[in-house]
Amino acid sequence: MTHTTTATAPARPLAALLEYRGFNKGLDQVLHKDYNQVIGELREALGINSRAGLHHYRNGKTTIKAAQAARVEQVFHKRGITEIWDA
C-alpha cells in the first residue's frame, strides 16, 4: 500500500484575508473642494493612472491588496474620514 501525502498551502496572513470592497462610502464624504486632489492621491496609492482603473477599484470590481488598502485608508484618514469601505 502506497501512502500519499498532500501538501497544503500555508495559511495567508490575517490582513490578506480581509476582503475590501469599493470605497465609494469614503469618497461620498470628501469635500467638493478636495475631490480632485483625493482622486489623484488614490490613483497614486493604488499605482494606477487611468480613470477606468480607479473606477474598478472604487466600485469593488478589482480586488484590492492589503497594502493598497492601507494606503487608501491613509488618504481618507488624513481628512478625518474613517468609514471608507462599502458593505
Please give the C-alpha separations between residue 49 and each of 3, 11, 69, in angstroms, as whole numbers. Answer: 52, 33, 17
More confident residue, 74 or 13: 74
Domain boundaries, the chain: 25-77
pLDDT tens readout for residues 22-45: 999 999 999 999 999 999 999 999
CB 48 within 8 A of CB 57: yes
Instruction: Name the pTM for this structure.
Output: 0.76
Distance CA 85, CA 69 (A): 10
pLDDT band at 82 (very low <50, low <70, confident <90, very high): very high
pLDDT at residue 15 is higher than 50? no
Residue 11 — very low, low, confident or very high, per pLDDT cuts 50/70/90? very low
